[in-house]
Chains A and B, each alone.
Chain A
Amino acid sequence: MQFFGGSEISPSPPLPTASGNNAHMMYIFNRNGVCLLYREWNRPLRTLDSNQDHKLMFGLLFSLKSLTAKMDPSSAEKGNLGVPQLPGQGCSFHSFRTNTYKLSFMESPSGIKIILVTHPKASDLRESLKYIYNLYVEYVVKNPLYTPGTPIRSELFNTTLDQYVRGLG
């Protein structure tokens, strides 16, 4: 299986452009693993078709979450690795960084997962992800014509999101 990034990882990623757009792409998943939204701003290398790519991303987060909970030194009660956790059990991670990108992750208790992939030098984006969650509520959840659990098709949401993400440091 090929992992995105492939073999050609340059020693240092390109510095953020003058326009200030540090973000590569963003995913929003719901609790059932449906990719509600995929936005792409700057992604020169693609190795998988989008469906596989979404699944791989969701699977990565799912496994990583169960791993991080398993490694947690502060918690006495731990299930076996891979055993489904009850909601509220275990800890969760909020970002990881490689030499070429940083992935920030937020999950709401209702199972909405927001993933933002940026330049590795990006600062702590937890507040920004929370803000994006608020945007999602205002533009998607409150839209009476949106059917929960289906991919989001909202120009207004996309535009607002683009604008906000462009301003991120």
Chain B
Amino acid sequence: MAPAVPRSGDAIFANVERVNAELFTLTYGAIVRQLLTDLEEVEEVNKQLDQMGYNIGIRLIDEFLAKSNVTRCVDFRETAEVIAKVGFKMFLGVTASVTNWDTAGTCCSLILEDNPLVDFVELPDTCQGLYYCNILSGVVRGALEMVSMKTEVTWVRDMLRGDDAFELQVKLLKQVPEEYPYKDDE
């Protein structure tokens, strides 16, 4: 029998190496600041953060799978629960809640009440279009793509823009079946 899938990331979080939260927050802040200087356009920064997150996500998935002992999820609902309860806990130290399911079970929202990335942050007037945490959406998208799920991840609510929580909408576009990668004539 496969070991039971952990329903909480607490035990794993206790066992992985961690860095000081403030160092992490400030480092992330410095990256965003530098991107704003380099790219000038807020829209470009959003894109770049998403791309950086994607690159992290496609690697992070293997660490997640290796350390969490999670096996295949039966459906997208379970996947979302595992991301919210185990994934976020393991890498960010907080948990998210999953709500707003559509009837088909392919679209839901991850809600973060507590987000260590935004401590000390206030958006100035010049950066109103910035999705400060856009790296997170990239991470989720990249990680899911590596387990054969094409998704679209967008921010619905953002505390830095005056909302009461962070809400990340995850929409499953399609599941890619495993295919034989070689052509016959090779």
Contact = CB atoms under 8 A, between A and B. Distances in A.
B148 A86 contact: yes
A109 B177 contact: no
Given A109-B65, A141-B63, A148-B58, A85 B177 contact: yes
B62 A88 contact: no
B120 interface: no
B53 to A, nearest CB: 15
Nearest to A131: B66
Q: Report the contact-size class of chain A (Cβ under 8 Å from the partner).
A: 20 to 34
Contact of B148 (A62, A87, A137, A142): A87
Interface in B47-80: 58-59, 61-63, 65-67, 70-74
Contacts of B72: 87-88, 109
A142 B17 CA distance: 13
A115 B167 CA distance: 41
Count chain A CB atoms within 10 A of each CB in B74, B147, B148, B181 and give the residue with the most. Answer: B181
Contact of B66 (A32, A62, A137, A148): A137
Interface string A11-34: 000000000000000000001110
Interface in A83-129: 84-88, 108-112
Nearest to B145: A110
B15 to A, nearest CB: 12
Contact of A88 (B58, B65, B74, B182): B74
B184 to A, nearest CB: 11
Contacts of B149: 87
Contacts of A87: 72, 147-149, 175-178
A112 B62 CA distance: 9
Contacts of B70: 109
B63 A111 contact: no
B63 A137 contact: yes
B146 A110 contact: yes
A97 B71 CA distance: 25
Contacts of A38: none
A142 B65 contact: no
Contacts of B163: none
Contacts of B58: 148
Interface in A31-64: 31-33, 55, 58-59, 62
Given A111-B146, A111-B147, 7 more contacts: A84-B179, A111-B148, A111-B178, A133-B65, A137-B62, A141-B59, A148-B59
- List the 6 shortest-distance A-B pairs measured between CB atoms, nearest first: A33-B181, A84-B177, A88-B72, A87-B148, A110-B146, A137-B66
17 contacts: A58-B182, A84-B177, A84-B179, A87-B148, A87-B149, A87-B176, A88-B72, A88-B73, A108-B62, A110-B61, A110-B65, A111-B148, A133-B65, A133-B66, A136-B66, A137-B63, A137-B66
Interface of B: 58-59, 61-63, 65-67, 70-74, 146-149, 175-182, 186
